[in-house]
C-alpha cells in the first residue's frame, strides 16, 4: 500500500529528525484544512462560493468570497490544535494569537489562504500556500508580537502548498527534499505520489506576465528578449511561454517539469518592491524550490536570506531551474556594476 501523509511525516520524524511531533501534528491540521478548502472550491456555483465581497484586504485588494472562507477554515482548524502560538495571513491586517482558552505551542503559521484569486471564477487552478516558523526563544514567555514573525526564510521549518486543480495535491517540505501527495477523494487521504521532486537545472520554458513588459527593469527585459530570440539568439534554443496567474499552479509546473517563474519588481508605483508577498508567498515557495534543487532570487539576492521588515512586505520573485535563474542574477549584477 502507498504511504500517506501521516506515515511520511512519522518517518521523517523517526529516521531523519527533520520534523518534531509538534510540527507533524500542525502539518496534518493544515492539510486537513486544505482538504476542506478544496471541497468548497470544487462546489463552485453550487456551493455559492464564487464572486466577490464588498470588503478589501489590508493591501487594498477586493476580497473574493473564497479568500475569506479559506482564511476562516485555516484559522478555525488551527486554533485549537495546540501546536501554535499565532498565525498571520494575507487576508488579516495583523497577527492572530491563539485565544487564551486553547492550548498553545511554539510554532507560527503563515498562509496565503487562496492564491490565484483572479482564477477562482473561471475554474482555473488555484491553491493555498503556507509557511511554518518557530517562536523565537526570547518570545516564549510573553505574548507574540508581529516582530516575532519577521524571520528570514531560511529559518522556516516547513513550507508547502495545496493546489486545487484537475487533481487536488499537497506539496510539502520539512527540510529534506520535497514530497507530493495526491488527495484520494474517496478515502479522504493524502497519498504520497512522489517522494522527491527535482527541478531540472536547464529549461526552455518561462512564465511572466508579458503585459507588464514596458514597466520592467533592463535585466528582466534583456533576459526575456534573449528567450524570445530563440535558436538565433544568445541562448541558442527556442523557448515556450506559460502564465497561469496563480503562483501555486505556475510553481507546481516548475516543480514538475522545470522552467522559470518571474514576477519581478517593476517601475509601477504599486510594484516597485514587487507584487508577491515575502512571508507567505515568496518564502515558502523559495524553500520548496531550493529543496527541489532550484534557485530563487529577488533579482539580486537569495530570497531566503532577506531579513523581513513587515508582515505584508512585497518582493520581486525569480525562481526555478538553476542555470536560468543564475543567468537572470548575472544580468542583474552586471547591470548594477
Residues in contact with ligand AHG, total (CB under 6 A)?
13
298 makes contact with Mn ion (CB under 5 A): no
274: which DSSP letter? -
Binding letters toward ligand AHG, positions 200-239, x by CB under 6 A: ---------x------------------------------
250 makes contact with Mn ion (CB under 5 A): no
Q: For strand 240-241 and strand 260-263, is the pairing parallel, antiparallel, or unpaired?
A: unpaired
- Considering only residues 110, 111, 112, 160, which one is a binding residue for Mn ion as defined by CB under 5 A? 112
- Which segments of the chain does DSSP mark as H helices, in order? 5-11, 21-43, 65-79, 218-228, 247-257, 283-291, 322-336
Rounded alpha-carbon distances, angstroms, from residue 194 to 136, 172, 292:
33, 11, 12
Return d(Cα 46, Cα 198) in angstroms, integer. 38
CB of 300 vs Mn ion, minimal distance in Å: 23
Residue 84 contacts residue 98 (beta carbons within 8 Å): yes
Considering only the stretches 76-84, 116-124, 136-144, 283-291, report the one whose residues sit in contact with ligand AHG under the rule CB under 6 A: 116-124
CB of 247 vs ligand AHG, minimal distance in Å: 3
Residue 40 contacts residue 66 (beta carbons within 8 Å): yes
- Considering only residues 33, 85, 104, 115, which one is a binding residue for ligand AHG as defined by CB under 6 A? 115
209 interface partner picked from Mn ion, ligand AHG, none, CB below 5 to 8 A per type: ligand AHG
Binding letters toward ligand AHG, positions 48-67, x by CB under 6 A: -------------x------
Within 10 angstroms of residue 293's Cβ, the number of other Cβ atoms is 18
Residues in CB range of 322: below 8 A, 6 or more apart: 199, 201, 293, 294, 295
- Helices H / strands E in the chain, number of each: 7, 17
Residues 261-300 that bind ligand AHG (CB under 6 A): 263, 275
- Considering only residues 22, 112, 205, 266, which one is a binding residue for ligand AHG as defined by CB under 6 A? 112
* Contact residues: Mn ion, CB under 5 A: 90, 112, 114-115
Q: Residues within the annotated binding site for substrate?
A: 115-118, 209, 275
* Contact residues: ligand AHG, CB under 6 A: 61, 90, 112, 115-118, 209, 245-247, 263, 275
Amino acid at each position: 500500500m502507498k504511504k500517506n501523509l501521516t506515515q511520511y511525516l512519522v518517518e521523517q520524524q523517526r529516521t531523519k529528525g527533520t520534523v518534531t511531533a509538534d510540527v507533524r501534528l500542525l502539518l496534518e491540521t493544515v492539510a486537513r484544512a486544505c482538504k476542506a478548502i478544496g471541497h468548497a472550491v470544487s462546489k463552485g456555483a453550487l456551493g455559492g462560493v464564487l464572486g466577490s465581497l464588498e470588503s478589501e484586504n489590508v493591501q487594498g485588494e477586493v476580497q473574493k468570497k473564497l479568500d475569506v472562507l479559506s482564511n476562516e477554515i485555516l484559522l478555525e482548524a488551527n486554533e485549537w490544535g495546540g501546536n501554535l502560538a499565532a498565525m498571520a495571513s494575507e487576508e488579516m491586517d495583523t497577527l492572530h494569537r491563539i485565544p487564551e482558552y486553547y492550548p498553545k505551542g511554539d510554532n507560527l503559521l503563515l498562509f496565503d489562504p487562496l492564491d490565484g484569486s483572479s482564477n477562482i471564477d473561471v475554474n482555473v487552478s488555484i491553491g493555498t500556500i503556507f509557511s511554518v516558523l518557530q517562536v523565537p526563544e526570547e518570545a516564549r514567555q510573553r505574548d507574540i508580537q508581529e516582530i516575532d514573525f519577521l524571520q528570514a526564510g531560511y529559518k522556516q521549518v516547513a513550507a508547502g502548498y495545496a493546489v486545487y486543480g484537475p487533481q487536488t495535491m499537497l506539496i510539502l517540505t520539512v527540510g529534506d527534499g520535497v514530497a507530493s501527495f495526491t488527495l484520494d477523494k474517496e478515502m479522504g487521504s493524502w497519498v504520497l505520489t512522489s517522494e522527491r521532486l527535482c527541478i531540472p537545472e536547464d529549461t526552455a520554458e518561462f512564465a511572466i506576465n508579458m503585459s507588464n513588459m514596458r514597466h520592467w527593469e533592463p535585466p528582466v527585459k534583456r533576459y526575456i528578449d534573449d528567450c524570445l530570440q530563440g535558436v538565433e539568439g544568445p541562448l541558442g534554443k527556442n523557448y515556450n511561454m506559460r502564465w497561469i496567474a496563480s503562483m501555486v499552479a505556475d510553481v507546481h509546473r516548475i516543480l514538475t517539469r522545470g522552467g522559470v517563474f518571474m514576477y519581478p519588481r517593476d517601475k509601477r508605483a504599486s510594484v516597485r518592491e514587487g507584487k508577491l508577498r515575502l512571508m507567505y508567498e515568496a518564502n515558502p515557495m523559495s524553500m520548496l524550490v531550493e529543496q527541489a534543487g532550484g534557485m530563487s532570487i529577488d533579482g539580486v539576492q537569495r530570497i531566503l536570506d532577506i531579513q523581513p521588515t513587515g508582515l505584508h512586505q512585497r518582493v520581486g520573485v525569480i525562481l526555478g531551474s538553476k542555470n536560468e535563474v543564475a543567468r537572470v542574477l548575472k544580468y542583474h549584477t552586471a547591470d548594477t556594476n
